[in-house]
Each structure stands twice: as C-alpha cells, then as structure tokens.
Structure 1
Amino acid sequence: MENQNSSFQYWMPVRILFTEAEPDIREEIAGESIVIVTDPFLYESGVAGRTGDRLGNADVSYFSKVEPNPSTDTVNACAAMIREHEAKTVIGIGGGSSMDTAKAAACLASSGGVIGDYAGKGKSFGKRTVRLILIPTTAGTGSEVTNVGVYTDSETGEKRPVVCPEFYADLAVIHPKYTYTMPRSVTANTGMDAFCHAIEAYWNLNSQPISDSFAVQAMKLILDNLLTAYRLPEDGAARENLCTASLLAGLAFGQTRTTGAHVLSYPLTARYHVPHGTGCAVTLPAFIRISVEKAGKKMQTLAEALGYIDVEALADGVCDLMRSLEMPVALREIGTKAEELSGIAKDAMNYYPQLSLTPAFMTEETVFDLLKSVY
C-alpha cells in the first residue's frame, strides 16, 4: 500500500483503564510516598486533591506548578521534589503538560541529573524505578499512552522533544467525566490536537496497518463529536467519544511520531504563545493539501472514508470545523507578521528528522511557501 511500511512492529506496554466510575487506584500504588504532578487550576479546584484523598493512608505531596508547554526548570523542580520525598509512585493528572512533566521527572528521579542532560544532548535515561500513573483531564494529547514528551528550554525558549521508552506509563486511567469542566477553548484546542495526531500518523512515512486503523477511527470520532462537545460541554456521549478518539490517536502517533504540523507548532507556540492545539491546527489544512505529493491515493481513501469527495474538500472541511470552533485559520490571526515567515521556516529545519516524515517535499523553501499560503 502507498506510503505504508511492509515491515513493522507495534509496541504498547501501557496498561489502559477506561472507566465511567471514579477511578480507585489504591492497589496500583508502590511505596508509601506519592507525588501528584498537576497544574495550578486542577490543584486549586480540588480535582487533583480528590485523587490524593482516595489513596488511603498514603503520604501524598503535590507538585502543582506545571505551566502550559512545561519548561525545563519546571521539570527539574518536580524531579527534585520526587527525590526529596523519596516517592515510589508519581501520578500525573491533567493535560499533556502535566503528564509530560510527570514522565520526565519520574525518570530524572531514577536516573539523576537534569532534563537538559537528556533533551537534545544524546544522554539516555536508565531504567525508571519510580512507578508512573497518568490520568488525562483533557481529550487531546494522548500523552498517557506515548513515550514522548516536549519541554521548553528555559534559557533559549526552544522546544525539546524527548522520545524515551521509560516514558511509557505503567498505567493510564481515562475517566471521561474529568473532561466535562474543560473550558470551550480547551475542548477545541485539545480536540484539534488529537485530530492532528491522528492524521499525521495516517499520512506518516512510518505508517503501518495498526496505527492507520486507530488513526482513521480517531478522526471519525473527532469529526462526529468535537463540535457537539464544544457547544454542549456536558454531553456525555460526545465527551466519551472524544476521550476514545484521543486515546486511539495517541496509540497511533506514539508508533509513527508526528510530522510537519507539529514541527511548525514548536516555533509558533514559542513565538506567539498560542495553545499547542492552535499551533498545530493553524497549518493543518495546508499540510492536508500538500500531502497528495507523496500520499495521493492514501489521502483520497481517507477523504472518502471521512465523507468528503476528495482531499481538497477534506482540507476545506477541517478549515470550516476550526472556524466553528472559533479557532484561527490564518497565521496573521495569531499575531504573525509577513516578515517573520522566513524565520519560522528556518526554525522548522532544526527538527528535520521529524519534518521529513511528512508525505511532501520538505525544504526550507517549501515550508516558507506553505506558511505564505496560510498567512
């Protein structure tokens, strides 16, 4: 099949618990000292505290300083807390930022050092000795089932993706009701992030039959449910379907990695401080259009499976969905200036191995042309 490996492997060591009931994870805890990693909102609203309260007599500490696009300083501070408390279990609860922080901090607590020793420096984490449990409260990142984390360098502002087998959690717990209170903008951004994960896994030069199956199902669920969840936040069926979609998209891109839309999100989020989902999605229709360069037949098959006549109609449909979600569909809408496009294209080349998985000809010039097309 076009754009698909004839030889492949699929490795997913994470145990997944998808539950309608409030999760009880007391039997999953190792040791008596636990650190829960979360963001200020989930800590102050009591969501993280309810998880801690259900852990019986365990000694629970909270690291609640996780910011969007977590910094290397934040990861290092979290790891220091885990070491200080000699925690044997780390629970990441929240969006991708909290879960990514928990992944790296748990590994640092086991291997020592700081995240800068590993992110972009070639040093590998040793075996993680701290138990890791991840609980998403958004439907979008899929971080609970991937071995990927992305961190913002506190000194340079650059994004530092890290891929590490020790980042796979021991347990992922998905409880759709945790997503009911997401602000509408977060519902939109995380939903489109999941769609990007799925379609980038599908057209990826590393794609394979298992990831394709998960990706297509995820895209169908998102197209059928995202706008409903955005407009009716407590629609239980829509929320559950989006949680399923996010999970499936994570199971897909965790094998293939992401491509150009995610690569461009790195400079866009760093420069303009937009949410990650916006940074990915704003260029997505343009990437859909150019994906026919190397994956024309496969993308036509996808378009028809999703109910569109062709790839161009699929790109238009995604753009229309984003407008309905009140998301920007042009770079100028996030504050980009025309004279900055060449610098963004140049920044993208720093991630060429990931960029090259896009099914199109990716050079600094072609990326610049794509950026101009969505300016």
Structure 2
Amino acid sequence: MQWNYEQPVAIRFGEGRVSEIGEIAGSLGVGDGVVVADRFFDEGGVTDAMIAGSDGALVASFSDFSPNPDVTEVDACAALLRRVHAGFVVALGGGSAMDVAKAAASICLTDEPIAAYHGTGRTMPTKHLPIIAVPTTAGTGSEVTCVAVLSDRAQGKKAPIVSDGFFPTCAIVDPEMTYSVPPHTTASTGMDVLSQAIEGYWSKGHQPICDACAVHAARLVFEYLPRAVADGRNDHEARSKMCEASVIAGLAFTLPKTTSSHACSFPLTNLLGIPHGEACGLTLDWFTRINADAQGGRVQRFASLLGFADADAMADAIAELKRTIGLRTGLRDLALNDRQIADLVRISRHPNLYNNPVDITDEMLETMYRHLARAD
C-alpha cells in the first residue's frame, strides 16, 4: 500500500482563542483584513466586536451571501477585497462563510469571475490571500479542507472547487463560538461530522492517518452529540468535544474524500430542502449496511473499534442517534412521487458516489429512496 499525507493548516484549539486574530495577522505580516461572516454574526454585533478587538488588523466585513453561496456572491466579496486592498481574510461561520472566503481570497487576485473555474475543469490559480478560519458550528470541517462548494443558480448547478490555495493558513477552533448554536443546527452539523468520519474511513482513498482520525472523531460524536443537542448552552464539555470531533473529522476526510451519503445529500438538500448534515445522516445507516463487508471487512473492524458488535449494530446506533437528536429517519411526510424519486436517483450520481467501496447502482439507489419515502 502506498499513501501520502499532508495537512498545511495550523490549528489553534481552545476556549477564547478567537482573540488571537490580531496576533496571527502580525506574525504573518499582513493587515487590512476582511471578515467574511454569516449574516447572523454581522447583524448581532459579533463581527464589529471582532474588528474592534483585532488591534487594527481587520478593517471591513462581508456578509451578503446565502446559505448555499452563489458564484455571484463570491465575485461580490472578491470585489470588496480588491477595493480595500485586503491583506488577509477571516472566515467566520459555518461552511457557507468558509466557501465564500476561500474562493474570494483566490479569485480577488485575478480579473476573472469564479464561474470560470466552477465545474469547468480549469485549475484555480495558486496565489491567494492568507485565510484565518474561525468555525462557529461543530460540523463542516471546512477550516482544514481545500474545498469550496458553490452554487451557480443561473446555470442550475452546485459543485465543489478543489484548490490547494483554499487551505486556510490557520484555523482557530474556539468552542465558545458554538455555545449559542440552536439544537437542530447542532444536531444536523454533528451528523455531518459523523458522516465525514465514517465515509472518510470506508472511502476507496482511505489511508492510516486519516483512519485514526476517523475513529477518534466518530467515537466523540456518538458520546457527546446527544449532550450538545440537549443542553449545548451549558454543557461546555460536550461543545468542546464536538468541536474536537469536527476538526478531526475534517482531517479524516480531506484526503480520502466523502462517498455515498454525501453524494446523496446534494439532491436531498437541493430538491427537498433538507439541511446538509441531516441529509447526509439520512442515508448513513443504509450505506453502513451496504458497505459492511467491503474491503475485507474494514467497516466491521471500524464498528468494533467504536465498541459495537458489528456493522449492523453500528447502523442501528446511527438510526437511534438520529431519533434521539430529532433528525429525520424517513421521507414519508414529503409524499414523494415517482418523478421525484427518479430525480433523487439521477442527481445522486455525483462524483463522490464513486469513492464508495461498493459500486452503487441506480437500482440500489431507487430501492433506498423508495424505502425512505415510506419511512417516518
């Protein structure tokens, strides 16, 4: 077996470390930074407080983007970066803020729109502004990845762009930033963490260092996600452990890539409006059973390492976890028709699907979606 490992992101983990942004900018020799923040933080004064506490390192903010950011929103952010002659970018928020910041920090140094690189096969330029990533959910792992997922609504497409220039220079993982996240968002983003860990482990691109990260992250999710959902404002240990799980799951899947559950999450989100992490979790137990004996029983061994009797028991635990934290276990309430099911099958043939250790056919997808359409 041959494999490579590289992780260029410096990680600063711990409560209160968001105050170190000015220090980091100083060590990098950059200034005139722009905060790319979810609108909630901009309107709630968090962004202004961050700028005020940055010792002059931050000068502006950008929050005019949607939960599934569009290429035009990236271009608008890049225009601001050019206008203020930004020296670095802070990405504050969940995956959407990270996606916009990563893409804008690269495209702002060109005279092209990001659409020129979105699903076109063109390689992104390597030159980029330094990015300091500050996640506010324990979920996407985007603070340690080189991927930005963008939509082009005019063209009707949503796709990732992968570039080494998208790796943040530094990730500040501060659990205090997650204390106010509401229960359902905590549940959905936490299920995304579990999906990233498990899929990273069984991906065709698996390798030993990422495997170890996957086991550690998944174990934390099973133990601490129910607590974080039940009392996230007061249970700081659970919040801290979920932040730990999130960043380590990001390390677990960045190189191997995600697989079947993430592939299916795209149509579930785009067509049915199901939040990304909840959409990933909806099929995770199903694919756990399908993949149980693939690769010489790797998923069976993974389940054993987590303390389960076998992969079926782990799949049962995933289903029970979803019920406990209030996430979907079926689609019966949406009364899906044959055309909608056919669309789900068709759009699930996303490139991530081909990372799965078992070849997934359209017939297998249709069987799964028809089962979910009947399930509560």
TM-score (norm 1): 0.94
CA–CA distance in structure 1, aligned partners of residues 104 and 335 of structure 2: 33
Q: How does 1:115-126 map to 2 (within 5 A)?
A: 115-126=114-125
CA deviations on 1:114-143 (whole Å, 9 max, x unpaired) are 121111111122222412111001001000
- Equivalent residue for 2:367? 369
CA–CA distance in structure 1, aligned partners of residues 319 and 157 of structure 2: 28
Q: Is the 8 A contact 1:33 1:88 kept in 2?
A: yes
**Which one is further off, 44-53 or 234-243?**
44-53
- Equivalent residue for 1:182? 181
- Equivalent residue for 1:16? 11
- Equivalent residue for 1:28? 24
Which residue identity does 2:309 align to in structure 1?
Answer: I
Change in CA separation of 1:334 and 1:326 when aligned onto 2, cut-off 3 Å: farther
CA–CA distance in structure 1, aligned partners of residues 104 and 221 of structure 2: 31
Q: 3-state SS of the aligned residue for 2:131?
A: strand
- Equivalent residue for 1:272? 272
Q: 3-state SS of the aligned residue for 2:77?
A: helix
Q: 3-state SS of the aligned residue for 2:108?
A: helix
**Which one is further off, 193-202 or 147-156?**
147-156
- Equivalent residue for 1:195? 194
CA–CA distance in structure 1, aligned partners of residues 5 and 308 of structure 2: 30
Change in CA separation of 1:334 and 1:153 when aligned onto 2, cut-off 3 Å: farther
Change in CA separation of 1:228 and 1:338 when aligned onto 2, cut-off 3 Å: farther
Q: 3-state SS of the aligned residue for 2:82?
A: helix
Higher relative contact order (CA 8 A, sep 6+): 1
- Equivalent residue for 1:128? 127
CA–CA distance in structure 2, aligned partners of residues 310 and 59 of structure 1: 51
Q: 3-state SS of the aligned residue for 2:109?
A: helix
**Which one is further off, 48-57 or 260-269?**
48-57
Change in CA separation of 1:167 and 1:41 when aligned onto 2, cut-off 3 Å: same
Q: 3-state SS of the aligned residue for 1:12?
A: coil
Q: How does 1:237-252 map to 2 (within 5 A)?
A: 237-252=237-252
CA deviations on 1:289-348 (whole Å, 9 max, x unpaired) are 101252461111122222221211111110111011111111334564444111111112
Q: Is the 8 A contact 1:293 1:359 kept in 2?
A: no
Change in CA separation of 1:147 and 1:341 when aligned onto 2, cut-off 3 Å: same
Q: 3-state SS of the aligned residue for 1:125?
A: coil
CA–CA distance in structure 1, aligned partners of residues 335 and 180 of structure 2: 29
Q: Is the 8 A contact 1:107 1:166 kept in 2?
A: yes
Change in CA separation of 1:86 and 1:336 when aligned onto 2, cut-off 3 Å: farther
CA deviations on 1:86-140 (whole Å, 9 max, x unpaired) are 1111110000110111000101112331121111111122222412111001001
Change in CA separation of 1:294 and 1:63 when aligned onto 2, cut-off 3 Å: same
Matching of residue 318 in structure 1 with residue 318 in structure 2: yes
CA–CA distance in structure 1, aligned partners of residues 333 and 207 of structure 2: 36
Deviation at 1:354?
1.9
Q: How does 1:343-358 map to 2 (within 5 A)?
A: 343-349=343-349, 351=350, 353-358=351-356
Deviation at 1:255?
0.9
- Equivalent residue for 1:90? 89
- Equivalent residue for 1:3? none
Q: 3-state SS of the aligned residue for 1:32?
A: coil
- Equivalent residue for 2:37? 38
Residue identity over aligned pairs, in percent, reads: 37
Q: 3-state SS of the aligned residue for 2:61?
A: strand
- Equivalent residue for 2:308? 308
Change in CA separation of 1:22 and 1:49 when aligned onto 2, cut-off 3 Å: farther
CA deviations on 1:222-260 (whole Å, 9 max, x unpaired) are 000000011111211111110010011000101111101
Which residue identity does 2:359 align to in structure 1?
Answer: F
Q: 3-state SS of the aligned residue for 1:282?
A: helix
Q: How does 1:78-227 map to 2 (within 5 A)?
A: 78-227=77-226
Deviation at 1:173?
0.5
Q: Which runs of 5+ in 1 are unaligned?
A: 1-5
CA–CA distance in structure 1, aligned partners of residues 336 and 133 of structure 2: 35
Aligned residues: 368
Change in CA separation of 1:212 and 1:223 when aligned onto 2, cut-off 3 Å: same
CA–CA distance in structure 1, aligned partners of residues 272 and 156 of structure 2: 12
Change in CA separation of 1:334 and 1:82 when aligned onto 2, cut-off 3 Å: farther
Q: 3-state SS of the aligned residue for 1:110?
A: coil
**Which one is further off, 326-335 or 305-314?**
326-335
Change in CA separation of 1:213 and 1:60 when aligned onto 2, cut-off 3 Å: same
Which residue identity does 1:69 align to in structure 2?
Answer: N
Q: Which runs of 5+ in 2 are unaligned?
A: none
Q: Is the 8 A contact 2:35 2:58 kept in 1?
A: no
Taking only aligned residues, the RMSD between alpha carbons, in angstroms, comes to 1.5
CA deviations on 1:141-172 (whole Å, 9 max, x unpaired) are 00000001111112134221111111001111
CA–CA distance in structure 2, aligned partners of residues 220 and 101 of structure 1: 31
Q: 3-state SS of the aligned residue for 1:292?
A: coil
Change in CA separation of 1:342 and 1:62 when aligned onto 2, cut-off 3 Å: same
